[in-house]
Amino acid sequence: MVVIKVLVTGAAGQIAYSLLYSIANGDVFGKDQPISLVLLDIKPMMSVLEGVFMELQDCSLPLLHEIIPTDNVEVAFKDIDAALLVGAMPRRDGMERKDLLKANVKIFENQGAALNMYAKKTVKVLVVGNPANTNCLIAMKSAPTIPPQNFSCLTRLDQNRATSQIAVRLGLSCSAVKNVTIWGNHSSTQYPDTTHANVCNNDGNVTVYKAVKDDEWLKGGFVQMVQQRGAAVIKARKLSSAMSAAKAICDHVRDWWHGTSEGHWVSMGVISDGNNYGVPEGLIYSFPVTIKDQKWTVVKGLSIDTFSRERMDESAKELVEERDMALEFLSKSA
Ligand code: NAD
Ligand code: LMR
């Protein structure tokens, strides 16, 4: 089988430490798919990255054809098939949202340009570094020769969180819950929607609303808990989620590579074409999608009630504001 080249940025960071083994072990691209793994981080992190490199070697993994640790963008993006853009500027004490966005616009503009210049035109890009939707938008805009459909951002962690909370509430396995949707931004305005979700329990296949029998919770406490889960993990761990983020990255990329199963959809932040669910054209917005032949399609025709509409619009409004601010920084750097 032909070796594929996979880039992970922020490779010396904590998400990468939970992620790299799964990729190198074949859990994402397939158990028969040899991989050349490229690890990018910034210069001051090169000695940490050397340690990660040594550990990957020491795992003695048969699918790991080659490991390339680097701080050189050209080396990192050259001929890659997949880019998992995890690295980003973290929010520091006293930093405004605007400052964070400004620093990250620069990073994702540079990485978008590198994708444009050095990567395969078929490359699939997943942006994880926050603010993930807007960073993804900037990378996409900076890579005009790569199809916009090849860019996505991570909202699978939110989907997994929501799915798990429903399962815990019902005393079922997560695998019994399907088609929870995350709409919008990977932020506290995201909308975890169970209107069209189902569970498989003793009564057969029933809607989540019917199984849970607590509409107030599904529209209140549940939504808030998923929206605030990232902050709750940071408060408890003093670090942002890493193990669960890495698992969600694996789920996202595996499904993009191999497709979704019949009757199931997943949530991904992808480009809005303006024709689905009243979401403005050009935003990177989380939609329910199905995937076949490595191409995602937004699930059509879901009914949207007033409650959902308001939340979906609120998240779109936040994304429009982020986009406008980011584009202003981008135009100033041009
Ligand atoms: P971390 O600080 O442990 O690691 C980030 C790494 O990125 C560091 O090693 C840093 O040196 C590196 N980095 C910074 N700028 C870089 C650049 N220009 N090129 C390459 N590497 C660079 O952070 P982490 O816990 O691994 O989280 C990474 C990002 O993922 C953060 O932005 C975090 O907020 C985000 N995150 C997103 C989700 C999601 O669901 N979308 C979930 C969890 C975390
Ligand atoms: C998460 O959802 O866990 C992270 O995006 C939180 C963060 O700000 O890093």
Kindly report the protein residue whose alpha carbon is nearest to atom 2 of ligand 2: 230
Structure tokens at 25: 């072990």
Is pTM beyond 0.85 here? yes
- Whole-angstrom distance, CA of residue 192 vs CA of residue 300: 17
Q: What is the pLDDT of residue 100?
A: 87
Cα 242 from Cα 233, distance rounded (Å)? 10
Whether the predicted pLDDT of 330 surpasses 90: no
CA of 304 to the centre of ligand 2 (A): 27
Q: How high is the pLDDT of residue 99? A: 83
Residue 137 pLDDT exceeds 80: yes
Whether residue 91 is predicted with pLDDT greater than 80 in this model: the reply is no
Indicate the pLDDT class of residue 175, thresholds 50, 70 and 90.
very high
Helices (H), strands (E): how many in the chain? 12, 14
Q: Would you call the peptide bond into 131 cis, given omega within 30 degrees of 0 as the criterion?
A: yes
Separation between Cα atoms, residue 60 and residue 41, nearest integer Å: 23
Give the rounded percent of residues in the chain with a pLDDT score beyond 90.
93
Asked whether 39 lines ligand 1 (CB < 6 A), one says: no
Walk me through the domains of the chain, giving residue ranges and CATH numbers: 4-153 (3.40.50.720), 156-319 (3.90.110.10)
Ligand located closest to 249 CA: 1
Using an 8 Å Cβ cutoff, are 162 and 137 in contact? Answer: no
Q: Determine what percent of the chain is predicted with pLDDT higher than 70.
A: 100
Q: Quick one: DSSP state of residue 229?
A: H
Which residue, by CA, sits nearest to atom 27 of ligand 1?
A: 15
DSSP 8-state class, residue 159? H
> What mean pLDDT do residues 19-28 have?
98
Pocket flag, ligand 2, residue 130 (CB < 6 Å): yes
Q: What is the mean pLDDT of residues 53-81?
A: 98
* 160 close to 247: Cβ distance less than 8 angstroms: yes
88, two tokens: 């980003």
Q: What is the pLDDT of residues 221-233, one digit of tens each?
A: 999 999 999 999 9
Q: Region 246-275: what's the mean pLDDT? A: 98
Specify the pLDDT at position 90.
81
Tokens of 1: 């089988």
The mean pLDDT of the chain is 96
